[in-house]
A = this chain, B = another copy of it.
Amino acid sequence: MSSGAVLTQSIETIAWTPEGVIMIDQTRLPRETVYVTCRNYREVAEAIRSMVIRGAPAIGVAAAMGVALGVLHSSDPESEMPVICEALAKTRPTAVNLFWAIDRMKRVYASARHLPLAEIRKRLVVEAQAVREEDIAINRAIGKHGAALVPDGKTVLTHCNAGALATAGFGTALGVIRAAVEMGKRVDVFADETRPFLQGARLTAWELQRDGIETTLITDNMAGHFLKSGRIGCVIVGADRIAANGDVANKIGTYGVAVLAKENGVPFYVAAPVSTLDLTLASGDAIPIEERAGREVTHVQGVHLAPEGIGVANPAFDVTPNRYVSAIITERGVARAPDEKSLREMADNKTR
């Protein structure tokens, strides 16, 4: 991966170019705005693993582009396609959008495999770009459906970063906030810093500050205090995988925020595309939870915080049972008190 390319004046999360996949390096924000170019599928896989790019929808886009890049450089895709897909699939286990995007690219490949190599390549590149473009449109639709739920004149609490940086653009949870602001609602945001990776402090705060949306950074353990205080009108978060019964896997800490929201009578909304639904899993208990390196907890930007040799746990996600979820906001509408019936309807219907 090479650093330093400047894409455009406006910030984009990920873009396809013939030279490779360009991504803003999310490990270096907000201190440095640096773009990296992944010139082959292995570099894309490494960018996903190391969280240069993160966020379930953005990971899906990156994986689709990784497959396209792999086949673009392959003279024997029939034997290499499974290797490329496997390398990208094993980067991170929880966000289902990764597997959804790879499956989508596999289907395009399967339908094109009898065609000349140049045509196969072209179709995969077109598909990967379509995944990106569709994601922005999906987020706009999520925003439109969700904006109606945001109370006027109150604070929205969000956890982690489900913004433009977590998607191809606009964002899911932050897309709902942006859409509410666009329709004239007075909204300010409390952003959990989201340890250990600090997506809230580094990415959400940065995005919202650029948009001029008033934002207050808090540590994760302050969320309960402010939910109890009455100033939070609703919580909106993204999702990494949603089981058929409406249980939601999302960034570690989401479960705690959801319980505290319910305890204080504050609505808890999940904003995610339909591609985040995993109807093959009956409940959230079956969602694999990624355990990441302890060093993410013991060190912050290279500074060692804890005593040497201390034990560490670092589950990157948790599961929020459906009873804490007031509604799931998708591009096809809002599933209130989500359950298997409402989510299957959401997945089956193109509009709602």
Chain B CB within 8 A of A137 CB? no
List residues of chain B with CB within 8 A of the CB of A304: 31
Tally of contact residues, A, Cβ under 8 A: 54
Given A205-B306, A252-B225, is A216 in contact with B259 using a C-beta cutoff of 8 Å? no
Instruction: Report the copy number of this chain in the oligomer.
Output: 2
State whether B224 touches A256 (Cβ < 8 A).
yes
Query: Which of chain B's residues has its CB closest to A311's CB?
Result: B216
List residues of chain B with CB within 8 A of the CB of A220: 195, 219-221, 253
Instruction: Tell me which of A190, A252, A256, A311 has the highest count of chain B C-beta atoms within 10 A of its own C-beta.
Output: A256
Chain B CB within 8 A of A202 CB? yes
A303 CA / B159 CA spacing, docked (Å): 22
State whether B303 touches A303 (Cβ < 8 A).
yes
Q: What is the distance, in angstroms, from A313's C-beta to the closest C-beta of chain B?
A: 5
List residues of chain B with CB within 8 A of the CB of A300: 300-301, 303, 305
List residues of chain B with CB within 8 A of the CB of A87: none
List residues of chain B with CB within 8 A of the CB of A259: 224, 259-260, 263
Chain B CB within 8 A of A240 CB? no
State whether A221 touches B30 (Cβ < 8 A).
no
Q: What is the distance, in angstroms, from A263's C-beta to the closest C-beta of chain B?
A: 5
Given A224-B318, A297-B193, is A217 in contact with B310 using a C-beta cutoff of 8 Å? yes
Chain B CB within 8 A of A130 CB? no
Chain B CB within 8 A of A13 CB? no
Given A205-B307, A306-B201, A307-B205, is A315 in contact with B222 using a C-beta cutoff of 8 Å? yes
If over half of A's interface residues share one DSSP class (helix, strand or loop), that class is named, otherwise mixed; here it is mixed
State whether A216 touches B313 (Cβ < 8 A).
yes
Chain B CB within 8 A of A127 CB? no
State whether A198 touches B256 (Cβ < 8 A).
no
List residues of chain B with CB within 8 A of the CB of A311: 214-217
Chain B CB within 8 A of A148 CB? no
Query: Which of chain B's residues has its CB closest to A197's CB?
Result: B219
Query: Which of chain B's residues has its CB closest to A304's CB?
Result: B31
Query: Which of chain B's residues has its CB closest to A303's CB?
Result: B301
State whether A219 touches B297 (Cβ < 8 A).
yes
List residues of chain B with CB within 8 A of the CB of A223: 256
Q: What is the distance, in angstroms, from A302's C-beta to the closest C-beta of chain B?
A: 8
List residues of chain B with CB within 8 A of the CB of A216: 310-313
